[in-house]
Amino acid sequence: MPADQQLSKSLKPRHLSMIAIAGVIGAGLFVGSGAAIQQAGPGILLAYMAAGVVVILVMRMLGEMAAANPETGSFSTYADKALGRWAGFSIGWLYAWFWIIVLGIEATAGAAIMHRWVPGIDQWVWALVLMVLLTLTNLGSVKSYGEFEFWFASIKVAAIVLFLLFGVAAILGLVPGVPAPGLTNLMDNGGFLPNGPGAVLAGILVVVFSFFGAEIATIAAGESENPVDAVKKAVKSTVWRILVFYIGSIAIVVTLLPWNDASVAKSPYVAVIELFGIPGAGTIMDIVVLTSVLSCLNSGLYTASRMLFSLSRRGDAPAAWTRISRRGVPAAAVLASTVVGFITVGLNYIAPDTVFLFLVNTSGAIALFVWLVIASSQLVLRKRMGAAAKDLALKMWFFPYLTWVAIISIVALLIGMVILESTRESLFLSLGLAAVVVGIGVWRYRRRGPGAAAEDTGTRNVPVAAEPSA
């Protein structure tokens, strides 16, 4: 690729740090956690811990490959080298599809909040405004994306930190008017596992998808000033982000309030804020959730466009999507993602319970597919390295044992989606979509095996781990 056709390298370390944090903290933490708590009671903490362990292992494996060679296509390019062109093609398209669908979901969620504040403007108008705003942000420059994400993430982090501080103070009996609960809410109302261990296992399937998005930092690293250091810091901080932000805040909710309280099911964080006696709890949480929605929209558009750009560079998407603006932005790929995003937003208003619901369900298990491909790719590439692995900047712990633990855990989650009635349809539709995409990939590359990526497409930046001489 000519020098003037390179992506801009203008993301700073602070951008990458906050992008990594924003990828973990989504609106699902603030809103969706209520349903999970109602399902498993205080035992939902075990579900968050189990899901968190899987994500930490996956991020460590991805970090190993990304630190060896930061790529805009991230795990899709690594799958090319490890498993074959069909694998990189398939997982790249499935991942881009996931985030394009997210655009429709998040734009509608953000529009609903804006409509509550300004009911005189129709909800679809707000959805259009939000989509246009963040499209312009992504078209402007990668630095614009990084700055927006930095401030969005800062608001979310500040909100959770304050929540944690107030929560710990309340548990210790230091908040006036809020008696220290002790272990009452954890052990009463049916005990720590009121609905049995089976509910915790089902809860894992509910919460595991809340963690999807942490991998965005490895995609963005390709546009940073010092990608290797950025990847190492982002991956290493995944552990404490999950422990503090997710498990810490959920622990405060189930300690301060009875798990079966109706207010917890509706909005656990609002319920705790109201317990503190802070006025306008609902509005405060609306602001935090709107920030999370805008962050997800911003990242979704960025991530989908970069994956489409990477696919295009490898010959797996229209060549026009490789065009880069004078600001170093893959403008054609951004606009391609936006067009489909606008269509999904429109479908959410025209046919929310039919077409749009069908599209959403086709993306339901893609997170697990992506994690499985990451683990499988790392297993292959690391074994292929042999003794050269000692020179890796970041290594997977206890290889290959923990890699196999992650693979088995992800397969178990997929089996769980078959068993659990509420997730069965989504899994089958996701498998159907995956079968079509994989079928196309296998047909396209039926005479080519792993390692053909560089020769076939001119993409030379494959993971160092793929070559024994690294």
- What pLDDT shows up at residue 463? 37
Name the residue with higher pLDDT: 129 or 12. Answer: 129
| Number of domains composing the chain | 1
Q: Could you report the per-residue pLDDT of 403-428, keeping only the tens digit for each?
A: 999 999 999 999 999 988 888 999 99
Q: Could you report the per-residue pLDDT of 247-298, keeping only the tens digit for each?
A: 899 999 999 999 988 888 888 888 898 888 888 888 888 898 888 888 888 8
Runs of H (alpha helix) within 69-84 = 75-83
- What pLDDT shows up at residue 469? 32
Runs of H (alpha helix) within 242-388 = 249-256, 262-266, 268-275, 281-313, 331-350, 355-362, 366-385
- Cα–Cα distance for residue pair 9/221, rounded to 1 Å: 9
Structural domain that includes position 345: 13-386+394-441
18-32 mean pLDDT: 71
Q: Is the pLDDT of residue 183 over 90?
A: no
CA R_g for the chain: 22
* Domain assignment present for 456: no
* Domain assignment present for 193: yes
Who's near 184: CB < 8 A, 6+ residues apart? none
* Domain assignment present for 286: yes
Q: Is the pLDDT of residue 161 over 60?
A: yes
pTM above 0.85, yes or no: yes
* Domain assignment present for 269: yes
State the CATH number of the domain containing residue 266: 1.20.1740.10
* Domain assignment present for 90: yes
* Domain assignment present for 449: no
Contact in structure between 310 and 150 (CB atoms under 8 Å): no
* Domain assignment present for 278: yes
- Cα–Cα distance for residue pair 202/204, rounded to 1 Å: 5
* Domain assignment present for 167: yes
- What pLDDT shows up at residue 335? 93
